Structures are given as C-alpha cells and as structure tokens.
Chains A and B, each alone.
Chain A
Amino acid sequence: MVLRIAIATAAALAAICAALPAAAHVSEQGLVLLLPTEHYRISGVLAVVASILLISMAPKSFVTRLFRPIDIAGPKLPIWVPELTSLVALICFFTLVWIGVTGPRDPLTNLFPLMIWVGFWIILFSVIGLSTDLWRFVNPWTGLCALLFGRKSAGLVTLPTRLGATPALAIFIAFCSFYVVDPAPADPDRLAVIAMLYWVLTLAAMAVFGASEWMRRGEAFAVLFRLISRNAAFGHGQARRVGMPGWDLLPSQPLPLSLGLFAVVILGVGSFDGLKETFWWLAIIGVNPLEFPGRSFVITSSLIGLALSSVGLIAVFASALWLGSRIAQAGAPDAPPIPLALLLRRFAPSILPIALAYHMSHFLITFLVDGQYLLAAIGDPLANGSNLFGLGQLRVTTGFLNTTVSVRAIWLTQAGIVVLGHILAVLVSHHAALTLFQTPRRAALSQIPIATFMVGYTFFGLWLLAAPRGI
C-alpha cells in the first residue's frame, strides 16, 4: 500500500523537484530540427506523386515485364536442409534463453534481449524483407517437429479453414502489444520466460493442428515473414525465382482476407510505434514531452493508440479502395460491383513495401546504436570477460548522432527508404488495378483515392522522421 501511494505521488512530487529533463539522443533530434527537412519532405512527396503519374500511364504489359522473375537453375534444396538448420537454430534458441535467465540483468549487456530486439526484430525482419523467407531455415520448431511427429503429420485436430490465418494475426497483435506497450520488453528474465512460453505453446499447437498447417496459419512470425518476404528479390522462396523486389507481391490469386488484414496491421503497428514518441501524440495524452514519466505510465493510452492506428488504417485503406472502385465503375453501370473484401485481398499486398520501409526506417538509429551492443555481447556472450572475435572490448559510441553530416545522411537514408517503399507500393497497386478492372482507364481512375492515400502516407512517414520526439 505504501509503495502504491509512493508511486502514485511520484509524478506529482517530481513536478516540484525536477532536476534534469532530457531525451535519448537529444543531439540527433536537435540536428534534425535544424535540417531543411521541409524541403526534403516536399521532394519526397513530389517523387511519389511523379511516380504515380508515370505509373498510371504504364500498360499492364510493362508492369508485368518489370516484375517478371527469372527462374534459378540448379538442384532443388533437399528437404532436410531447412530441418537441419532449424535444429541448429533450436540449440541456439535454448542457449540464448539460458543466457537470458542466468546472464546479466542489464538488457544492453545480456545477449538474449539484444538478439531478440536487434538480431531478430530489426535485422532478421529487414534481411528477410530484402532477400527471402529465411524463417523457414531458422525457426526453432520445424526441425524438431519433423523428428518428433514426422514430416507429414496432420495433427490431431483440423484447424478450421474459415479461420484462415486469424490465429497468427491474433498472436501477432499480442506480440506487438508487448513490444510497443510493455514497460520492460527487454527485461532479460521476463523476455526469456515469455519466449520459452511461446515456444512451448507453438510446439503444442503444431502437435495438435499439424506442423505445416500451424506454420502456415498459426505461427505469427512464419506468417509475418512469409508476407514480408514477398517484397524480397527472391520472393518468399518457394518458387526459386529472383527478380525486381516486389515481384512476389503480384500473386495470381488474391490473398486470403486474414492475410490482407495482417498486412495492413503490420503497417498500422509500425506507424504507431513511431507516432507514440512524437510531441504530437504526447500532447494528446497529456504528457509533457520534456518530462516523459516512463512507459509504465502510458500503458492504457498506448494500447488504445495501437488499436486505433490499426483499425483506423484498415478503415482508411478500405475506404480508399471502395471509393476507387466506385469511381472506376461509374462509367460502366453494367459492370458487377466488386466486393470490398475482394478489393482488400487484391490490394493488401501493396501495403507490404510500405510496412517493410517503415520498419527499416524507424529502427535504423536503434540498429546503429544497439547493434553495437549486440556485437559487444556476441564478443562476450556469457558476460564473463571473454573477447571473441575482438568484439568483447567494443565500446559503444553515439558520436555519429552528434554531427550534421552524419545525421543528415541517416535522415536522408530513412526518408529514401520510405519514399522507395511508397513507389513500389504504387507500382503493385497499379498492377492490381489493371488485373481487377477491365480497362486501363478504369484502372487509372480507381487509383485516384488510393494514390491520394499513398501520397498522404508518404507525407505522414516523412513528417514522423522529422517530428520532435519526447522519448
């Protein structure tokens, strides 16, 4: 009781005794505010507008040719290879969990949280988005499942087809709530317990519903990475093809609705993760941006914001699709109306390049700073003073956030990634429109609201990068 009273009054007391407000990487933010980001932002938005105009005139054959992948020659990868690598990954995972539980409590010294939040969530996510679905090789389940249940185990119960990938979506939302909202997502012990719990539950679900079925529709990261890898040069990896990034976003069949929604939620969550740090959001929830009280004080508002951003993005995107469809059909009253669900399923892949771009852009500075901590922890995985690969003595620096030249380079890289993501999205969306609407004119008309959405989102993304932040 005394503790509760103490904590409840802490903020109020701090208000009469504040000593030292600050924000992480204040120098970097200060330098960004001095950069002519308004000009950069206008340039970025104009680049997307120009690409929309150019692409809207492009015939389907051009877009199809642009995205046509090349078959890769050579022998097919034996099925035991990803199983073997998965077993190796399983051993690594257990070792990391053990380090998480027994290692130092400092989240920037303990290898486990660094591997999860930098190695897995930032690096692996981005590498998969650019190359192919490597999760098939490094997930800690499929190898063990093949050993335990055999390769073709159908499980004990059939996962209802009508659920689609809803289980994976639900788990993904729970995961995002944890990393965006939890007061201490990098706490080594807790994170290790949560990761182990998820591993056990997933293994159990694979036993019950069948390994491949659960990986296809229930395991959140398998579904997430299969979606994100559609952006990649090698696609999601099943077809052994390589092409321009994004070629695998043009499926012959529309996505299942649950996967379409999944794609939009990835972007919604990523957007809110950036938005919640801005002065703008902090003002809405009544927090002084120069005196952020701590994550534990904003749990409810962050949960609400997370839900609103995902639902809101689905609503805005769906509205743009519906409006586009109405405009396109206006001149063709005899054409049958296209259901909203089909529109979502067809156009949702165009969200994925933006989701990948936001992820890479948002986490670039975290990658540059915490990536150093990860290297140092790899050099001394047991935190016992060892110095593997000469990395154990690495001293982390944030000096590159202290000069205009490097801060400008980082900002322009982030902005460039966001703009490229949107241009790719416009291309994919245009292709989807050409597939869905009979004539190029109607396809182009259908894109007016969607293009407006894309331009608006480009503006939003670049504004996020330039906005002052309080966390």
Chain B
Amino acid sequence: MTHKINRRAALGTLGAAAGLAGTASMLPGVARMAHAQGSGPIKLGFQVHRTGIGSAYGRWYERVATAAIERINASGGINGRDVEMIAEDDGTDPRRGAEVLERFSSLHEVDAVFGPLFSHVVIGSAPRAGELQMPYFVVSEGHHVASGILNRYTLQPGITDVKSQVISMAPFIAENVGRKVTMIYPDFAFGHDHRDFFTEAIAAQGGEVIEQIAVPPTETSFTRYFPSIPRDTEVVYHVMVGPAVLTFVREMGEFFGGRGPALFGFIDSLEAVDVTSPGLEFLEGSYFWEGMARHAQADQTAHETAYRAAVGVDDRGASVDDARDVSTYAHMFGVWETLAVMKAGMEASGYQGPSDRPALIEAVEAMSDMPLSDDHPQGGKVFNGRTHQVFGHQNITQLQEGTLVQVHRTSIEDTLYDDEVDYTTQAF
C-alpha cells in the first residue's frame, strides 16, 4: 500500500501534539519563533538545495526528509517529543549556506541541522556550524568530512563518501569486467577524485589504468576523444556529468557500435534521468555504481519496500504519482538514514536542549554497527566515530533490457580505508 505523505500535512500535525496552545501552534511563523528548550518539539533545521543547481536533488531530499520526520513522529518522536522540521533554502550556494546556519541558530533556535548535499555548500557552511556549536549532519557523500578538513560538529552518518565508493568498485571490476581500464572524466575536481581514487584502487587489485582522458567541462561533443581509447582497453570507466551526458553516451555508443570494451559508470551521471531515454540504449549491458539500486531487485528487503512506500517511489525508482518523474534514488536514502541516526543519538544522550549538543555528538561518535533495518533500508553500516564518516555496502548494477539489475554488492570491508583524522581529539 502506498502511504501518501505531504510536507504541509506533516507540519500541520506538529503543534497540537507538542502541546503548544491555541492558534499559535497553527501559525508556522509563530511556531518557528518559539524557543525549544526542554519542552515543545525537537526542532531540526533542514538545509535544503531548494533553488540553484542542486534543486533537482533538493526536491527529492525534501520529500524523503518529510517522510522520515513523519515516521519518527508516528513512532513517538524523539525522547517523547514531536519533531518539527524547519526548511531553509541555501540556493546551493556556500555563502547562503553559512547564513542559513546563522538563522537556524539565532532565529529558529533549532537543536541540530541536517541535509546539505553539494560539497562546496558543506565546506562553506561547516566552519560556521563549528563556531555556532551546532551539530551539522551532512548528506553529501563528499570525502571532505573524513579527510579531516571540517570540525567536530560536522558528521556524515547517513551516506558513504565518494572515496570508499570508488575504491570498493575495483575488486569487482578487476575480477569480472576487465583489468585494463581507460578512464574518461570531466576535467575538474569531481573527475579528478574518481581518477585518483580509482587509479590507486585498481592497481592494488592487479589492474591498471592504461589511459586517462580528461574532458573539458564545457565540452558538448565527444567524438574526438574516443579515438584516444587504447585498443587493448577492457573497461571504459566514465563519470561524465552535466547536460551533455546523454550526448556523451550516444556518441560513445555510436563510436563502438556495440563491439567495444565493457562500460562502467557512476549513476551520478544519470541520477534522476530515465535510463530508457533516447541515446541511452547504448548503455545496455554496462555496469553502474549505485548507492541504492533504483530498480527494485528480486530479493528486495522488506525494509526497502517500506522505505519506497514511505517516500512515494515505485519499483522503477520513479514517483508513484508520475512514472516519468525519476527520483535521485541512489543518494536520497542518506537523508532517511541520517534522521534515524540523529534520533538514535538524541535518545542515547538523553537530549533535552541545546546545552546537550556536545552529548549528542559524543553519542553519535560512540556508534559503530548500524544493522539493516527500517532505519537503515539501504543496508547495514559501520560508523567511524573518529572520522565522523559512515561506511556501508555498495551496489554494482548492470543495465539489462532497460532494468538496472544488481550483479554485485560489496562488503563493508571493501569500502574501508585508513583514518585521516580523529575528530574526537578536538575540543567542543
């Protein structure tokens, strides 16, 4: 059964249950000015990319956050108090991200903040979170948290980082797809991360990146790059992004004519894009990394089934209201799991109000195993309290007759790497 939720409806249930009196509880403006200290709802600030380049993700992050908050409230809230979500748009802009944290702290007086995805926004906002001593739960999959450049108040417990995602692909690729790899990537930080992490990881598996083809970000036609792919290439690892990605795939398909090397890519290229779009038929048979497999698998767990229903997504990863409206399925579970961790942390620390924020951080730092459950529908995870980064299983799917079929699921061990920081040594 599909349980249809709505953000406004969720907000509307908050005031009465929280015991706020009379009409004031029905006025969001009044409610948001109310002080949250020990009584009333737990207030969680949702820093959301409502506008700007992240808005396609923001729309789905908002939908998942709403569903997760509704679920938490339906099960008794946090420490017996209902949860109120207050959304602020950061415009996918780091300067505004920092301002949003100021507003969360001084105007809304929230207990903690969650939600940002884009790396530059997280990196621009996190220092302010530290100064404001505001627990800041990011859902960005960037390596910036575990790399040690942020601070003790910033955590990423709901989604794995790109470094562990990339290195965990290497064993499967080397074993099953090919050992001679040509990488095609956009020539900026995003592509460079993939190049650096994967080149090292595949070498550790006895494979080799035999060619690295960096494509300028402004490129919209790619045929002149394909002749640079060495003939003995067994796998093409591609991570092109942006509006020209469909053109890239079509031109690559036309170049190889179905007789080329195997293809491996990150679904980031095609997140929220229908894989049956014209041009993408050339991807038939190619492999993808997916944080969470967009298309329901034959052995889908009951936890994932419940999650799909709660966020209103069908078996093809599209909205139940519009089968053409494809979600950001590979990433958005991170919001759901982050909120579950925040709840668990607040309950473990007996969180009552802002003075308990350090205790909340310590409670999350003390977490380790997070088993597969309704709280963690993507799968079991291990949290590293020192690096503030969670680690989990990664999926490799293959496009088979228009459906992304899971062909491999990594172990969590495959995703681990040496610690680069110990945030627990930093003072609050």
Where the two chains meet, the residues of A that have a C-beta atom closer than 8 Å to any C-beta of B are: 2-3, 5-7, 9-11, 13-27, 29-34, 101-109, 183-184, 186-187, 279, 282-283, 288-297, 376, 380, 382-386, 392-393, 395-400, 402-404, 406, 468-471
Contact = CB atoms under 8 A, between A and B. Distances in A.
B93 A297 contact: yes
Contact of A402 (B91, B128, B188, B326): B326
Interface of B: 4, 6-9, 11-13, 26-30, 32, 48, 50-57, 59, 62, 86-89, 91-96, 98, 103, 117-121, 123-124, 126-128, 131, 140-144, 147, 149, 161-162, 186, 188-190, 193, 217-218, 220, 241-247, 250, 268, 271-274, 277-279, 312, 318-319, 321-326, 331
A276 B188 CA distance: 21
A3 to B, nearest CB: 6
18 contacts: A2-B127, A7-B124, A21-B241, A104-B11, A104-B86, A106-B48, A106-B89, A291-B190, A293-B120, A295-B52, A296-B91, A296-B94, A384-B27, A385-B12, A385-B13, A392-B9, A399-B323, A402-B277
B282 to A, nearest CB: 12
B6 A294 contact: no
Contacts of B94: 7, 10-11, 14, 293-294, 296
Given A289-B217, A399-B322, A470-B242, A102 B28 contact: yes
A106 B63 CA distance: 13
Contact of B123 (A17, A283, A392): A17
Nearest to A393: B6
Nearest to A400: B324
A386 to B, nearest CB: 8
Given A109-B87, A384-B26, A399 B53 contact: no
A194 B334 CA distance: 37
Nearest to B86: A105
Contact of A290 (B11, B241, B250): B241
Interface centre among B48, B86, B88, B189 (most CB of A within 10 A): B189
Contact of A18 (B92, B189, B324, B331): B189
B249 to A, nearest CB: 9
Contact of B318 (A18, A108, A386, A399): A399
A270 to B, nearest CB: 20
A29 B8 contact: no
B8 A403 contact: no
Contact of A17 (B56, B189, B279): B189
B89 A10 contact: no
B404 to A, nearest CB: 16
B222 to A, nearest CB: 12
Given A30-B247, A104-B87, A297-B93, A17 B124 contact: no
Tell me whether chain A's interface is mostly helix, strand or loop, or mixed: loop
B324 A290 contact: no
Nearest to B29: A102
Contact of A22 (B13, B54, B91, B96): B54
A23 B96 CA distance: 18
A186 B29 contact: no
Given A2-B131, A186-B89, A22 B52 contact: no
A159 to B, nearest CB: 38
Interface centre among B6, B48, B140 (most CB of A within 10 A): B6
Contacts of A106: 48, 50, 62, 87-89
A294 B190 contact: no
Contacts of B48: 106
A18 B274 contact: no
A183 B91 contact: yes
Contacts of B50: 106-108
Given A294-B96, A468-B244, A6 B124 contact: yes
B95 A296 contact: yes
A404 B280 CA distance: 12
A383 B131 CA distance: 32
Interface centre among B89, B149, B272 (most CB of A within 10 A): B89
A468 B220 contact: yes
Contacts of B325: 397-399, 402
A62 to B, nearest CB: 44
A160 to B, nearest CB: 41
